[in-house]
């Protein structure tokens, strides 16, 4: 370990004796990384390294930390450098300024598609869908459920999306009373479609149990 750190120019620092809270900070950060990696499907080492690099930029330069007084780690480091330059062997570099939204999309492997130039109706479709979600899903379920965590919101959203795509007829000029699933089957010439919401792999869970 010491040899590897030396080869990479990394200072290997140890925590003070009888200070388990220092380990807790490291473990919490590792937990954050685990949550990010658990939310994406990585096909090879290159994708893993790219995801970690995106998250490093996002965490250090874009996300304010409560324990740092609502500042980012880079902001705190640069402020400390201004008052203690002799403790640094080089000036902290300015971090890249990637778009936070684009970084979050990349971390979660979401493709960001933009609308065509001078085609505001495309935005209109998206805005109408958002309004439908608000009126028919969350303004209904929200009166019946006091949401405690995101998983409960996702549960009700999944239920509505199944209804929206498989049962709810659409009266717009494109679907003309069909459900989205019916229109897609006709367009693809298929009798069935994959589940709207992927089913959880219960066999794997049962085998592991």
| Whether residue 101 is found in the same domain as residue 128 | no
| Whether residue 40 is found in the same domain as residue 124 | no
Alpha helices by DSSP H, 39-179: 45-61, 73-83, 100-107, 120-132, 139-144, 150-166
Of 134 and 120, more confident:
134
> Which pLDDT score, from 0 to 100, does residue 96 have?
58
Residues 6+ apart with CB under 8 A from 40: 51, 107, 108, 109
Let me know: does 183 contact 189? Beta carbons within 8 Å.
no
- Model confidence at 36: pLDDT above 60: yes
| Whether residue 11 is found in the same domain as residue 102 | yes
Q: What is the DSSP letter of 199?
A: P
> Which pLDDT score, from 0 to 100, does residue 45 have?
86
Mark which of 53, 72, 107 sits at the end of a domain: 107
- Model confidence at 202: pLDDT above 50: no
The 10s digit of each residue's pLDDT in 47-67 is 888 888 888 887 888 778 888
Domain membership flag for residue 17: yes
* 3-state class (DSSP) for residue 66: helix
Range of the domain at 180: 120-199
Closest CA relative to residue 39, chosen from 119, 125, 100, 110: 110
Instruction: Tally the domains of the chain.
Output: 2
């Amino acid at each position: 370990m010491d040899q590897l750190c030396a080869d990479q120019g990394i200072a290997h620092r140890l925590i003070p004796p009888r200070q388990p809270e220092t380990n807790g900070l490291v473990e919490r950060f590792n937990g954050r990384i685990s949550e990010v990696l658990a939310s994406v499907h990585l096909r090879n080492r290159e994708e893993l390294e790219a995801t970690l690099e995106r998250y490093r930029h996002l965490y250090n330069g874009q996300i304010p930390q409560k324990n740092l007084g609502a500042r980012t780690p880079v902001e705190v480091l640069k402020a400390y450098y201004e008052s203690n330059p002799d403790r640094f062997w080089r000036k902290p570099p300015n971090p890249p300024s990637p778009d936070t939204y684009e970084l979050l999309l990349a971390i979660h492997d979401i493709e960001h598609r933009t609308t065509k130039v001078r085609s505001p109706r495309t935005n209109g479709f998206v805005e109408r869908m958002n309004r439908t979600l608000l009126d028919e899903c969350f303004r209904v379920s929200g009166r019946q459920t006091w949401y405690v965590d995101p998983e409960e919101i996702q549960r009700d959203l999944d239920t509505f999306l199944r209804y929206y795509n498989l049962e709810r007829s659409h009266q717009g000029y494109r679907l003309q009373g069909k459900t989205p699933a019916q229109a897609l089957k006709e367009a693809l010439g298929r009798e069935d479609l994959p589940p709207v919401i992927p089913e959880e792999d219960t066999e794997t869970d049962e085998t592991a149990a």
